[in-house]
Every structure is written in structure tokens, then in C-alpha cells.
Amino acid sequence: MTPKEYEQVVAELSRALYEIAEGNAPPKVEDGFNNKWKGASTYCHQIDVSVEGPKDIVLIECKNWGSEVTVPAFLTFLARVIDIVPVHNTKKIHSKVVTTVGFDPGVRTLAGYYEIGLHQVRSASEFALQPGRVRTAYLFDVWLNGTSWKRYAMRTLPADFEMNCILGACLG
């Protein structure tokens, strides 16, 4: 899977779980190079995947790497989030980093302090089948790169989870 396809899978997982949680499609789900968010500095930051609802924004950095996410890569995303938050202060911002491999121990320390979710997602179907993650199964199709459909198994979380928990769980 290419990095672009990985971002698309994460975006579709986020979209599907938002819809389960809220009962309707998210007002805005964006991914890719043109997904720009203006910061307090006035710089427009590229964010891999974003989900925006009436009360919440989820900013997601995707790392489809063959090795662990490093501290410098994490700090780059953290700086983006720190710049973006003040501009969008009417909504709760949740930030997540997803990867196919894992995280350097220093990243785990920093993420814990700054409350940034770290999640390992190698594929949508693998995520859905993790024990204790979810309880009701269903399938959805994802259109990848304008060329092919892929079917993913998903499961829903209990109804008492809030949207941000579901989106967080979606990503790990």
C-alpha cells in the first residue's frame, strides 16, 4: 500500500466510525497534499487526514513506514498541532499519529505528555479484528486511488462512547 492509499484508508475508517457514532456523515473529512490548516503563525500546515464535526476536529498524521516513528517526525507534527489549535479554539482538537510499524520510546513519552494518540494500523481489517477493540461487525467498501474497491471489516464500539473516543479507537 502506498502512503497515499494508507491516508485514504485512515480517512475512510475515520469517516465510517464518525457516521456510526453520530448517525450521519461527518461534515468534512479531508486527506492528502491539499488538506491545509492555517495556524496562529498564518502558515498553512499540510495534515494527512482531518475529520471535522460541529464540536470536534481530529488531526491525523499517517506514517506508512518500514520503521518506527521517530522523535523528530513526531515533533514536526506536534509543532503543527500547537500552531493550529489557537486558530480553531471553538472546537476540541484531538491529534493522532498512526503508523504501520510502531513508535520510538521517546515518541511514547512525548505523546503521553501532550495527549496525542498513538495508533498502529496496518490495515482496516486487522484493526477491526483486534481483541477487545469493538463488538458488532459489519463491512464497508473503500474506493482506493480512483481505481479499485477494497472491502474492509469493521466493528462498532458501544453506544456510550463519545465521537472522539470512537475516532481515536478507529486509529488504534
Distance of CA 36 to the CA centre of its chain: 15
pLDDT at 127 exceeding the cut of 80 = no
Give the domain ranges of the chain: 3-170
Which residues pair with residue 62 across a beta bridge? 98
Predicted confidence (pLDDT) per residue in 51-93, tens digit = 999 988 999 999 999 999 999 999 999 999 999 999 998 999 9
Within 10 angstroms of residue 82's Cβ, the number of other Cβ atoms is 14
Predicted confidence (pLDDT) per residue in 134-149, tens digit = 433 333 343 344 444 4
Q: Is 94 helix (H, G, I), strand (E, B) or coil?
A: strand
Selection from 10, 1, 23 nearest residue 49 by Cα: 10
Least-confidence region, from 1-10, 29-38, 135-144 = 135-144
Q: Specify the pTM.
A: 0.73
Q: What is the dotted CATH code of the domain comprising 3-170? A: 3.40.1350.10
